[in-house]
A and B are shown apart, each in its own frame.
Chain A
């Protein structure tokens, strides 16, 4: 049973995403801000992390992803994006975005599940 952590500040997005994933048989843990998100990942070592790029501040999610990678947490990350393509994302172009997939809001459950399954399979494969 794979564990998926969802970190997003919008409770409605959390609920809907959780429901989509639990109905596929995954165990879901959630957090509404980067600090709590960091905590649940450290404590539960999920198999996959879903991270909203913009929480309290633009790029909060990006910085959290960087923090995970710096600490050698190489859990696959899916990043939820909204309009961050056009602003925020202050990091340099050369800087690697340390995530594996992007899903743009509003979230299509089919797309989400497809990406989740793909990443979890790849994880098993390596």
Chain B
């Protein structure tokens, strides 16, 4: 309490000498004093300012002190009023108390008497103020709690995961709109028994906790296929809710949509199955030949044997290549490719790849022609990746070409992109084969491709690389006539600044 503060006092009295004398007396002690010479003025002052104490004469010519007191208390209930009266009696005291006066003082009064009264009154005043302050604070806290509750509700309702709380009796206590969606219910009534309306697996999760009837830090979860037709998978987790005393209050169930994850999982296992199948095929082929060699009841000629050994080697080579390609794809997927992006000249890369294929070209008597317009600009890329793209495409152009065929490579550029076109006079593709060309493990299978080995991953890797550089790959093909691959690579990009060949401009991991 503020004990150092001096009270502010209003004196309402028609006796001028008393007014002035009291004022002087109180002011000498540091009190702040206002005076009113009649009832009307007393009301005017007392209702316009929250005085600590009002000292009111009971008998005044215009308005009596009781009315003045009533008006003041109505305006400021915490102003402590003292009635001053020349006719002090027991009755007066009772009457004064009845109408809301704190106390009364008989006139005339000594300085000690008035100071004693004012001291008591001021103490009362401070208690009143303190009480009011506490009341106000309590009100504010209640408001805060209410606000907190609304805020919490808003948050719970905004969560995309479903949330349902049930009590020990299995009645719904709290839920959010997402819960309705995942529980496939139109509405939930608070305090209604709900366990019989839920998906049996969710009811099971809740019962696992309710059946123990005590609080343990243990959660249970399960994945549920909510809708086979629309493929909605959710993961529901039930956790116990404790009471403050540590016993079990109920169960909270959180339901999360895991459809995306689940689909990814399915894709992943399909991919694994496909890989296993592709790896098993060459193993089965080689195994079959080896069995022939070891089985004495089977007669094979020397020539057949040589042929089967060669083909086994071919299958093993492509198996090895497939494993390496798979590792590459996995690195790309994991984004663990260490690229060294620098300014590259494409022509020397193409020439070095052609050099590597000299034996194959000669063996199949394929004529390769390279046309390049002048001043082909640098591209900004990783040397190994671009080499890989060129290698895979030229390798295909040789593999799927006919003996004595040709391969045309055209290199050109515009202001914004570089284009590489590789055209062969090979066996071409059917429309339905073209559509699946960039899928992992897809290989055109027809009467003309039966002796061509491959992993079915080469073009898928090409596509991944071209995609990384924001390029485009197009294919044109006619069955029996040949195929043409055209790659467009963007030349300039804001992030690359150098013009010098070989200078590293960006290291990307």
Residues of A bordering B, CB below 8 Å: 9-13, 15-17, 19-20, 23-24, 32-33, 54-56, 82-84, 86-88, 105-109
Contacts and interface: CB of A to CB of B under 8 A. Distances in A.
B311 A12 contact: yes
Contact of A16 (B277, B281, B292, B450): B292
Contacts, number: 77
A12 B445 contact: no
Given A9-B445, A32-B450, A82-B284, A109 B295 contact: yes
Judged by DSSP, the binding face of A is: loop
Contact of A23 (B273, B298, B308, B312): B298
Interface string B272-314: 0110110011011111110110010111100010001001100
B213 interface: no
Contact of B292 (A19, A32, A106): A19
Query: What 5 pairs between A and B have smallest CB-CB spacing?
Result: A16-B288, A12-B285, A106-B287, A105-B284, A106-B284
A33 B432 CA distance: 15
Given A19-B298, A23-B298, A109-B298, A82 B281 contact: yes
A54 to B, nearest CB: 7
B445 A56 contact: yes
Contact of B281 (A10, A24, A109): A10
26 contacts: A10-B284, A10-B285, A12-B285, A12-B288, A12-B312, A13-B288, A16-B289, A19-B292, A19-B300, A19-B304, A20-B295, A23-B299, A32-B445, A54-B277, A83-B277, A86-B273, A86-B276, A87-B273, A87-B274, A88-B273, A105-B284, A106-B287, A106-B288, A107-B288, A107-B291, A108-B291
Interface residues of B, number: 32
Contacts of B312: 12
A12 B289 contact: yes
B229 interface: no
Contact of A20 (B281, B284, B298, B446): B298
Interface of B: 269-270, 273-274, 276-277, 280-281, 283-289, 291-292, 295, 297-300, 304, 308, 311-312, 315, 445-447, 450-451
Most interface-central of A9, A12, A106, A109 (chain B CB within 10 A): A12
A83 to B, nearest CB: 5
A90 B287 CA distance: 29
B306 to A, nearest CB: 13
Contacts of A108: 291
A86 B280 CA distance: 14
Nearest to B295: A109
Contacts of B308: 15-16
B450 A109 contact: no
Given A16-B291, A87-B273, A107 B284 contact: yes
A107 B280 CA distance: 11
Contacts of A84: 277
Contacts of B287: 106-107
Contacts of B315: 12
Given A32-B445, A108-B291, A13 B284 contact: yes
Judged by DSSP, the binding face of B is: helix
A33 B285 CA distance: 17
A52 B145 CA distance: 72
Given A15-B308, A16-B285, A56-B445, A83 B292 contact: no
B273 A83 contact: yes
Contacts of A16: 285, 288-289, 291-292, 308
B248 to A, nearest CB: 43
Contacts of B447: 32
A33 B291 contact: no
Contact of B277 (A9, A20, A82, A106): A82
B288 A17 contact: yes
Most interface-central of B273, B286, B288, B292 (chain A CB within 10 A): B288
Contact of B445 (A24, A33, A86, A88): A33
Given A10-B285, A12-B286, A82-B284, 17 more contacts: A12-B285, A12-B288, A13-B285, A16-B289, A16-B292, A17-B288, A19-B292, A32-B445, A33-B445, A86-B273, A87-B274, A105-B280, A106-B287, A107-B288, A107-B291, A109-B292, A109-B298
B290 to A, nearest CB: 9
B506 to A, nearest CB: 41
B273 A11 contact: no
A67 to B, nearest CB: 19
Contacts of A13: 284-285, 288
A31 B269 CA distance: 31
Contacts of B280: 82-83, 105-106
B272 to A, nearest CB: 9
Contacts of A86: 273, 276
A27 B270 CA distance: 38
B297 A23 contact: yes
Contacts of B450: 11, 32
Contacts of A54: 277
Contacts of B451: 11
Contacts of A109: 291-292, 295, 298
Contacts of B298: 19-20, 23, 109
B280 to A, nearest CB: 5
A106 B292 CA distance: 13
Given A11-B451, A32-B445, A87 B295 contact: no
